[in-house]
Structure 1
Amino acid sequence: MITRLLVANRGEIARRVFATCRALGVETVAVHSDADTDAPFVAEADQAVRLPGNTPVETYLRIEAILDAARRSGADAVHPGYGFLAENADFAEAVTGAGLTWVGPPAKAIAAMGDKLAAKALLADAGVPMLPSWTDTDQVTGFPVLVKAAAGGGGRGMRIVRDTAGLAEAVAGARREAAAAFGDGTVFVERYVERGRHVEVQIVGDRYGTVLALGERDCSIQRRHQKIVEEAPAVLAPELRARLHAAAVAAGRAVGYVGAGTVEFLLAPEGDFHFLEMNTRLQVEHPVTEAVTGLDLVRLQLLVAEGQPLPLSATPPVEGHAIEVRLCAEDPAHGYRPATGTLHRFTVPGAAAEFAPVHGLRLDSGVVDGSVVGVHYDSMLAKLVAWAPTRAEAARALAGALARAELHGVTTNRDLLVRVLRSPEFGAAQVDTGFLDRHPEVFAPLLPEAAVPLVALAAALASAAARRATAPVLRGLPSGWRNVPAFGQVTRFAGADGGEIEVSYRLDRSGALAEWSASSTAARVTSSTAARAASPAVALIEAGPERVVLDVDGVRRAYRVHRAGSEVFVDGPDGAASLVELPRFPLPTAELAAGSLLAPLPGVVARVHVEVGQRVAAGDLLLALEAMKLEHPVLAPTDGVVTELPVPAGGQVDTGAVLAVVNPAEEAPS
């Protein structure tokens, strides 16, 4: 039996495996990079071993370093989690070669499925339907096509190409991204199915030849080819479900599968389905299967790895419906690029459990209050899962929990997820991989523009209350009180979109709100005793450092306020906002050269495509910034001449660093 398990991974999946180990009485070992030294998964492990460095290549992808950590900690088994080395056959062989128990399928099965091209050929012989694919781009016979990495998953290295002109650059970019994520830059081209559904079947096998389907999941809601919403069971006709399960079991048997794995299919609108890939590991979305079956899939992995037969002999019955969303650190105001920062508060009300099947809300998180989200790994913070008797109830509960969550310090995709869950099309199960492309309305923030002035007023009142609470003298007086009122209190904020909001208000002698106004770069809203007919009448009910209650046209609205330094986070009935209180007397700052292009987040300049003095056109690729396992292109904003390239390829930059200067007025040197 396994007594001490090392998890060769990080974040949420490491915590997930540790949770089952604690329930079974198995000791745990974490390995961690320098960037993860203070991460929650490290603190939860019984032992932890440092892997010097920060990047995956330096740390979580170093097989010898992980085996050395197992030896030094006395671990007798290794669980790979997902990502990194989870589907690396050489790693599986190295683990077993070192005399350790490998919690995963045999290396031969990983190798067979790890090369997606070889997997397609093998499973086609087993009767599993396939899409046409090519390794030579000159042989591509039609568009659109999808460029895919032959190794790994998670959407890394994927590119949709709709014509011949874009194929070469898409292949080159996919190779670079796949090499960075998986250490293997091999890619291939596959026919792209418009409006297809991504449905996968969870399978599990033991060493005695049993391979079972444990149900299926619909993972069609995707952005950048990465799943963001998953549910179980999929909305399918019984006959189609039976055929999918049979094909998945056939795939597992064809490779002698042992352990937990997933066979992924693409369902065409006409009803046909085609094999996409087989993931020889636990999937990120496994909690929805656990929720509707009551099974602990990590427990099954450990039992099978110990040589025990599966404790079930048939596909288990499904109860109710479960939906999962992936909460990611992303900046909606800037194209949902990965975001970094410190999570000052991370709270989801109503979560009944973590890392375990539950009827209700389950939170599987890699972060806690105070966690630092850096640039070295992917942007996923947590998964929130809702189980309910019906699909509609699960979607409503999940959307409500997300909307009430306090997510302070790092911007996230929360609003997008809530809008997807509340959309009529999702409610009617009208989903496919192109859902987000067809529904741009779901990208709108939850907080309506008209509600921003009230949020800013609440932030200003809370900040004033906090200052009065710590005032050394006369702290009982209302903020800004004067014998002869002349001017209101003025507080200025910077919004998430880069604009400024100025709030002016005046309290009377009793502390009631006498008048107020809020103006921004986009609009102006005013409210006072003299202008109530034209704008909402606002009365102040309560104003404390962490809670403000306003009566707006006879309706009370409560706002939760949390301050971290100059950042003010407001959660209200309409949505959440993050503001930065600006100083009354700002210090002078250096003026940037006209045409400066700044780094949107910390990272490494991967490639520079232009030279100083080169004339460029608007939209030309200047350089690529690599951060959080993705490439971020930096494009010329206008026609002009490149006058500065201060950072060479390979150079590291912080947020706001000048990457290039394009001067539209500069003439090319003669």
Structure 2
Amino acid sequence: MIESLLVANRGEIACRIFRTARRLGLRTIAVFSDADAAARHVREADEAVHIGPAAARESYLNIARIIEAARASGAQAVHPGYGFLAENHEFAQACLDAGLSFVGPPPAAIAAMGSKILAKRRLTAAGVPVLPGYAGREQDLRRLASEAERLGLPLIIKPAAGGGGKGMQIVRAAAELDTALAAARRLAESAFGDGSLLLERYLPAPRHIEVQVFADSRGNLVHLGERDCSTQRRHQKLIEEAPAPGLPEPLRERLRAAALVVAREIGYVSAGTVEFLLDGGEFYFMEMNTRLQVEHTVTEAVTGLDLVEWQLRVAAGEPLPLGQSEVRFEGHAIEARVCAEDPERGFLPSAGRLALLEWPELPCVRVDAGFATGDTVPDCY
């Protein structure tokens, strides 16, 4: 088993990973920027290493500094959490090259799902349902406009290298097309360093259903049920629940089976989430998140499992603790994300000191938090 773990992240997810690591007897190591010197995740770790200025690109996104921190602290393994470098195949490879265990999937699996265009082509060939659209290599704006006209409206434009709803443009009228394509290209280049765009038929009111999958390095693969993440604002999830309510059982089983096909196709290992759009009785692959999700908590609630523990054991070379027939589901769980935002200013992020922060302490209520009373919510993340 791994004995020392560095979490290359901050806030709530770092605290959550430390909780399981402590229970397993691991030495925990935090990293922090100038803005997080007094942060909760720093206080909760056995050791903390400073990795740079407040700007994420100079700290939490700086691969070299994180690898240096792991070496200096004697960490055996690195957990990326979510966000920042969690889905960066170069970071995963850098950890392996440094002799560290990476608590996540192989770099090749991360890269396989890193481009929506390449993922869509590959999974179409594997027989996984995908939305009608354009995922071609020719990416000049004239060709994209021509393909958009062929597909018809409404359609959605997505950055091929994007995620989390960032940079997506919905086009409902022909007069909007050229402007939307140009805007999507600019944002894709600035936010993701890749201007490639994916065009898809737009579904006005689909359900967002995702399936939690888990695999080990020995070829074992299971699903841990699905979650409904349809309640969103600006393409950002707000409420998640498990299991997804109101699904006919045959449809539920088809979704789960398709998710396993996706994971098997790319040689997946560790925790991953396959996301689908559900429209009536039909579903379509959207993307795969090659990491632990924020909403993994509701899956833990209905299965009684600790997904971080599973990740750590798989990273240590152990087999999955359970086979598919041994996974049990009981009850229903709902997660609500609590964000520091100002509702009077269009829910813009709100930074500052938390004068009072009290969480409910009730049976069957779980709180995963990265802040406490007196902490400061920085304005840089």
Fold conserved between structures, TM > 0.5: yes
Tell me what 1:291 maps to.
301
CA distance in 1, matches of 2:249, 2:154: 31
Three-state SS of the structure 1 residue aligned to 2:250 is helix
SS at 1:110 equivalent = helix
Partner in structure 2 of residue 249 of structure 1: 260
Q: What is the one-letter code of the residue matched to 1:226?
A: Q
Q: Is the 8 A contact 1:84 1:181 kept in 2?
A: no
Q: Using the TM superposition, give the Cα deviation of residue 290 of structure 1 relative to its aligned residue in structure 2, in angstroms.
A: 0.2
Work out the CA distance in 2 between the residues paired with 1:180 and 1:345: 37
CA RMSD of aligned residues (A): 1.7
Secondary structure of the residue that 2:170 maps to in structure 1? strand
Corresponding residue for residue 57 of structure 1:
57
Secondary structure, counterpart of 1:28 in structure 2: strand
Determine the structure 2 residue equivalent to 1:560: none
Measured against aligned partners, the alpha-carbon deviations of 1:472-513 in whole angstroms (never above 9, x if no partner) come to: xxxxxxxxxxxxxxxxxxxxxxxxxxxxxxxxxxxxxxxxxx
DSSP 3-state at the match of 1:320:
coil
Q: Which structure carries more relative contact order (alpha carbon 8 Å, separation 6+)?
A: 2
> Normalized per residue, which structure has more strand?
1
Count of matched residue pairs? 369
* Counterpart among 227, 232, 238 of residue 222 in structure 1: 232
When residues 371 and 160 of structure 1 are mapped into structure 2, their CA distance, relative to the original with a 3 A threshold, is: farther
Question: What secondary structure, in the 3-state scheme, does the structure 1 residue paired with 2:53 have?
Answer: coil
The Cα shift of 1:172 comes to 4.6
Query: Residue type of the partner of 1:42?
Result: V
Residue 22 of structure 1 pairs with residue 22 of structure 2: yes
Distance in 1 separating the partners of 2:183 and 2:370: 29
After superposition, where does 1:214-613 map in structure 2 within 5 Å?
214-235=224-245, 236-269=247-280, 271-314=281-324, 316-351=327-362, 360-377=364-381
Say whether 1:213 aligns with 2:223. yes
How far did 1:304 drift?
Answer: 0.6
Residues 363/114 of structure 1: CA separation in 2 closer, same or farther (3 Å cut): same
Counting aligned pairs with the same residue, the percent is 57
Larger Rg: 1
- Deviations 1:602-629 (Å, cap 9, x if unpaired)? xxxxxxxxxxxxxxxxxxxxxxxxxxxx
Secondary structure in 1 aligned to 2:55?
Answer: coil
Q: Give the distance between the partners of 2:89 and 2:362, measured in 1 at CA.
A: 37
Q: In the superposition, relative to structure 1, how do residues 49 and 310 fare at CA in structure 2: closer, same or farther (>3 Å)? A: same
* Structure 2 counterpart of 1:361, one-letter code: V
| Deviation for aligned residue 1:54 | 1.4
1:537-567 Cα offsets, whole Å, 9 max, x none, are: xxxxxxxxxxxxxxxxxxxxxxxxxxxxxxx
2:144 is the counterpart of 1:137: yes
Output the amino acid matched with 1:192.
Y
Q: Are positions 1:3 and 2:14 aligned together?
A: no
Distance 1:364 1:174, change over 3 A: farther
Give 5+ residue unaligned stretches, structure 2: none
Deviation at 1:91, TM superposition (A): 0.8
> Could you say if the C-alpha distance between residues 156 and 373 of structure 1 is closer, same or farther in structure 2, counting changes exceeding 3 Å?
same
Equivalent in the alignment of 2:176: 166
* Cα shift at 1:329: 1.5
What's the TM-score once normalised by structure 2's chain length?
0.93
SS of structure 1 residue aligned to 2:110: helix
Q: Tell me the CA shift for residue 376 of structure 1.
A: 1.1
Q: Which amino acid aligns with 1:371?
A: D
Q: How far apart are the structure 2 equivalents of 1:82 and 1:365?
A: 14
Task: Please tell me whether the aligned partners of residues 351 and 363 of structure 1 are also in contact (alpha carbons under 8 angstroms).
Answer: no
Q: For residue 267 of structure 2, give the secondary structure of its aligned residue in structure 1.
A: coil
Q: Give 1:372 shift.
A: 1.5
Are the aligned partners of 1:84 and 1:182 in contact in 2 as well (CA < 8 Å)? no
Q: Deviations over 1:122-152 (max 9, x none)?
A: 1111110001233553121322222223234
User: 1:335-394: CA deviations, max 9, x gaps?
Assistant: 222222221111122245xxxxxxx000011111112222211xxxxxxxxxxxxxxxxx
Structure 1 position 159, deviation (Å): 2.7
Q: 1:200 touches 1:262 (CA, 8 Å); kept in 2?
A: yes
